[in-house]
Amino acid sequence: MRINKLDRYGGAMVGAHVGDSAGAPYEKQRTVVIQQDMKKRGGLVLFGYIDPWGGKREMPPGHPTDDAELLAITGQCLVDYPNFDPNVHYERLRDFIHGRKSFLTGGEAYGSGRTLRAALRPPSYRESLEKFGRGEVPIIPTNGGLMRILVVALRYHMRIEEIVRFARWQSCITHMHPMSQAACIAYCVLVSQVLDGHSIKFAWDVTRGILLEKPYAQIPHMDEILSIDTSRPGEDIIWPDMGSVKTSLRAALWAALTAADFRDGLTKVIGLGGDTDTYGAIAGGILGAHFGVDGIPQEWRDVLIGREKMLELADGLYDLAHS
């Protein structure tokens, strides 16, 4: 069945949310534990759980964590301010992280990494940049920018120069490390190719070809990101640095490249253990762009909290990219 581009846009946004919500209950669990639980449940399902961050709240099936929330907030910013206003982006991200206001559910927000919290603690973007300049915010290659960067690929579809520029800017709001920037760029170029209907393998090959040429090859760490081993990462890779941007991208690429369908790819990446909600969100964006929104199992879409907002954002980003 032919998948039109708008369905791929919706699949990317909803797929990232499904990956986040399906992976959240397994956060920081080992592969064997996850596989045993999946076997007991009859496969990967979206189910209610006690949140692993505070251990007090009972989370319903399909509830987003910060991965899907920050993706949606970034998407809304691009719809509202198509030319990118970093001050507005900063304020809205900060309102979620420190104001604890959920964008997708209308309730309380939860789940965020230390780098995100530190970068967004100052009351303004200018003051955050000053703290970065003084070395008061850690500049480490973690995955907190990669999990929300998908919308740049949708907004600037196939406009490589703009994808590179805006992916870097988005990353640098919270994650300034050059490797984080390079990973965000590569991911967005990849998804942009997948949106055009290419296989994920072909899209990755094209991405590598584009970004290994000048001037993009001169971006720090770009060659390292584009040389990522796309074989299955074992626990010796996942556990020492589960939140690194390189490990996260490798996990998502392996699952996407070897997926028979959306369910198979998501099951694979979450089954790795580690930072499962973020791996799921990153892989879910690629898989959704490839298989389309109808390729995502209906039982997952039906319980997804905030699904309609994700589809609305997909429509808005599509209109901007193709106007």
Question: What tens-digit pLDDT sequence spans the chain (323 residues)?
Answer: 689 999 999 999 999 999 999 999 999 999 999 999 999 999 999 999 987 766 677 889 999 999 999 999 999 999 999 888 899 999 999 998 888 888 999 887 766 667 788 889 999 999 999 999 999 988 999 999 999 999 999 999 999 999 999 999 999 999 999 999 999 999 999 999 999 999 999 999 999 999 999 999 999 999 999 999 999 999 999 998 899 999 999 999 999 999 999 999 999 999 999 999 999 999 999 999 999 999 999 999 999 999 999 999 999 999 999 98
- For the chain, what are the domain ranges? 5-321
Question: Positive or negative CA dihedral for 202, 204, 205, 207?
Answer: positive
Helix spans in the chain (H)? 5-23, 31-41, 66-80, 86-99, 114-119, 125-133, 150-155, 160-174, 178-195, 200-211, 222-226, 235-238, 245-257, 262-270, 276-291, 298-303, 307-321
pLDDT of the residue at 262: 98
pTM, 2 dp: 0.96
Q: What is the CATH number of domain 5-321?
A: 1.10.4080.10
Q: What residues contact 309, with CB distance under 8 A and at least 6 apart?
A: 72, 103, 104
Assess contact for 50 and 110: CB atoms under 8 A. Answer: no
Q: Three-state SS for 232?
A: coil
Count CB-CB contacts under 10 A for residue 126: 11
What are 313's two structure tokens? 């954002």
Q: What are the angstrom distances between the C-alpha of 110 and each of 63, 76, 152, 322?
A: 10, 19, 24, 34
Residues facing residue 59 across a β-bridge:
49
pLDDT of the residue at 112: 65
